[in-house]
């Protein structure tokens, strides 16, 4: 398993919500999707979720599947309400200046080493 901090660092991600202890959360896998239905049927426990969805529904979905954190990709403007919802949920939320594909490419070697 990997710690969350090195994964966020390799993505050059900005912290939108970093609850206490987020750096040491364990990540078992990465899942990238923009479809809520696909996210719901994933084996999301201890997963880092990559998505370009900007609805607070993605945060609720991440909570349902037990995701460790959510990384928003594709350089989009992040609504303040989304950050506020992540804070309320206590869910780590990040924004990466990468496409979903490039984020996965960067994370791949780190996940293989785990």
pLDDT at 43: 77
- What range defines the domain where residue 78 resides? 2-113
| Secondary structure letter of residue 75 according to DSSP | S
* Number of folded domains that form the chain: 1
Q: What is the mean pLDDT of each run of 10 residues along the chain (114 residues)?
A: 95 96 95 94 88 94 95 90 96 96 95 76
Give the pTM: 0.94
Joined together, the tokens standing for residue 109 give 């070697």
Domain CATH number, residue 7: 3.40.1390.20
pLDDT of residue 94: 97
- Residue 60 is predicted with a pLDDT of 95
Q: Environment class of residue 5 by beta-carbon count within 10 Å: exposed (0-12), middle (13-18) or buried (19+)?
A: middle
pLDDT of residue 42: 86
The residue with tokens 């309400």 is 81
Determine the pLDDT at residue 114: 57
């Amino acid at each position: 398993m990997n710690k969350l901090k090195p994964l966020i660092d390799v993505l050059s991600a900005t912290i939108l919500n970093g609850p206490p202890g987020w750096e040491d959360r364990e990540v078992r896998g990465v899942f990238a999707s923009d479809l809520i239905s696909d996210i719901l049927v994933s084996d999301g426990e201890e997963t880092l979720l990559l998505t370009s969805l900007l609805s607070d529904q993605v945060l609720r979905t991440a909570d349902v599947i037990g995701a460790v954190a959510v990384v928003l990709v594709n350089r989009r403007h992040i609504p303040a309400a989304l950050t506020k919802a992540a804070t309320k949920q206590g869910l780590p939320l990040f924004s990466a200046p990468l496409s979903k594909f490039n984020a996965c490419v960067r994370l791949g070697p780190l996940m293989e080493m785990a």
